[in-house]
Amino acid sequence: MNFSSLLDLHLVAVVHNIDEPSRLHLGFPGLKTDNAVSADEQPFTVGCNFGSEFIHIIDGPSLFTTLTTLDTIKYFVSFLNDRRLTLAKRHCVIEGNENFLGAYLSSPIAAGKYSVAHQLTGSILDTVVFNSGFWTKYAQSPAWEHTNKENKRSYFIDRLIEHISEEYQLGRLVRSQEMEFSYHEQGWRFLARESRFSRRLLAGAFQSIFDEPDKTTFWSSSVSSKDYPDTRYVFLTYPQATSDKSYEKLENYISFHLMEYMFAAGAAFRDARYIVGVGIPNYHFGQHSIVLHIADTHSWGDREQVTAKKIRHRLGAFRALHANTTFHFE
């Protein structure tokens, strides 16, 4: 997949140690952003428009809070987009970036999506001030506590990305270790580009088969990406192999079955262009081979399409489909 068309570029300048001088003045809010400022009219105050460039200038502690709160690239870039759009709409004063973050997370517009700019639509205020109370109020709210609780299972996807990338870096991949870094990076990027909310849904699809009591057979589940409708994930848990299988034979065995289920998913869900397959062992035995494959169904010819239909029919996979609705409240 060519990701270059998806680039969303932002300029971010980080001001270090701004928290130290701010302690010299009780009640001083730290680095302030005022989009009406163009020079050094006010101490510890910066603008954001520099010629034709918009630059996010954020102090180190606030950036750390932002990155640890919005801990997926999807969420962080969405935040920067909304920050830029908000500051372009009207006169804004941000007394510490964490307070804009608090206002942002208090402005939901859909599941897993937020926008201060959207909330300000129709507002008659000439100046909007994001003062020191915004972050404190949100960080102490039941909504923040609930979000943290709901997000816990989503970190399975993070651990999956870290595991596969670490195995590659240590040269421990049994299959495809000799492939270029870009080959592996493309697979990781599909997972990494998913938002925290979307990762909840992916983890839920995996958990539904991971909890199956029968560990002697394959179990599969599939879920569409919440963020990218053309992408569908197929999770496959595999049973313990016979002891005479080498790791290479084991991974070939897993890979073969995973690809079959990916073909079946391609036949069942015709609106999905990209099928991301993940093969993972059942939890109660010691084999740790994890297999990741990406398939672009737009590259399939008539032969692959016919094969996909035959495999789906033979496996009986994704045939008795029924809606499984999960509510996620922010």
Say whether both 133 and 163 belong to one domain.
Answer: no
pLDDT at 98: 93
Residue 320: inside a domain: no
pLDDT at 228: 94
H/E stretch holding 167 reads helix 155-169
Residue 129: inside a domain: yes
pLDDT at 27: 45
Say whether both 132 and 159 belong to one domain.
Answer: no
pLDDT at 99: 94
Q: Residue 208 is part of which domain span?
A: 153-315
Residue 147: inside a domain: no
Residue 20: inside a domain: yes
Residue 329: inside a domain: no
Number of domains in the chain: 2
Report the predicted TM-score, pTM, of the whole model to 2 decimal places. Answer: 0.83
Q: What is the pLDDT of residues 222-262, one digit of tens each?
A: 999 999 999 999 999 988 776 666 777 878 888 899 999 99
Q: At what angle do helices 155-169 and 196-210 cross, to 10 degrees?
A: 90
Say whether both 181 and 125 belong to one domain.
Answer: no
Say whether both 136 and 75 belong to one domain.
Answer: yes
User: CA angle 70-75-81, nearest 5°?
Assistant: 115
Residue 323: inside a domain: no
Residue 158: inside a domain: yes
Nearest to 68 by CA among 155, 165, 189: 155
Residues of the chain under the 50 pLDDT cut = 4, 24-27
CA distances from 62 to 25, 54, 76, 276, 295 (A): 18, 19, 13, 35, 40
Say whether both 121 and 204 belong to one domain.
Answer: no
Cβ proximity of 221 and 237 under 8 Å: no
Q: What count of residues does the chain have?
A: 330
Q: What are phi and psi of 318, to 5 degrees?
A: 55, 40
Per-residue burial over 85-94, b = 16 or more CB atoms within 10 Å of its CB, e = otherwise: ebbeeeebbb
Residue 148: inside a domain: no
Say whether both 89 and 118 belong to one domain.
Answer: yes
Which residue among 110, 140, 170 closes a domain?
Answer: 140
Query: Is 111 buried (19+), middle (13-18) or exposed (0-12) by CB count in 10 A?
Result: middle
Cβ proximity of 150 and 200 under 8 Å: yes
Say whether both 100 and 12 belong to one domain.
Answer: yes
Say whether both 116 and 204 belong to one domain.
Answer: no
Residue with tokens 């870290």: 162
Its sign, for the CA torsion 299, 303, 304, 308, is positive
Spatial neighbors of 256 by CB under 8 A, at least 6 apart, are none
H/E stretch holding 55 reads strand 53-59
Q: What is the pLDDT of residues 263-297, one digit of tens each?
A: 999 999 999 999 999 998 886 655 677 888 999 99
Say whether both 222 and 104 belong to one domain.
Answer: no
Rounded CA Rg of the chain: 24
Which residue among 140, 169, 193 closes a domain?
Answer: 140
pLDDT at 330: 54
Say whether both 124 and 9 belong to one domain.
Answer: yes
Say whether both 181 and 289 belong to one domain.
Answer: yes
Which residue among 111, 140, 169 closes a domain?
Answer: 140
